[in-house]
Amino acid sequence: MTGGPTPGTALAGRVALVTGVSRRVGIGTAVSRRLAGLGAALFLTSWAAHDREQPWGADPGGVDAVLAELRTTVVSPEQRVEQLEADDASWVTGQVINSEGGFRRFR
């Protein structure tokens, strides 16, 4: 009986788009760690300004600390970790438009 996909190979050559990656203790970061461990390159979006306004607050190291940690979880030198930071309440529209454009540039 196997325990799931082989680490580092199941998603090799694929790009995962993960939203909500602005804190090292957040769900988006946990999902990103798992996807990177399976070999996916990552295109991430975050909205740290939103977190700063919440009771849990923003990551103490900022989004740069989140990205630095995720870059250590990749299993292949070909994997990339890229990020788009949203900065205002219109982020949903911008995220869709910019992520699509970023995704095309990323591949």
pLDDT at 102: 53
Confidence of residue 42 (pLDDT cuts 50, 70, 90): very high
3-class SS letters over 33-66: HHHHHCCCEEEEEECHHHHHCCCCCCCCCHHHHH
Q: What is the pLDDT of residues 20-40, one digit of tens each?
A: 899 999 999 999 999 999 999
Q: What is the pLDDT of residues 61-102, one digit of tens each?
A: 988 999 999 999 998 888 999 988 776 545 455 555 555 555
Neighbours of 40 (CB within 10 A): 25
Confidence of residue 1 (pLDDT cuts 50, 70, 90): very low
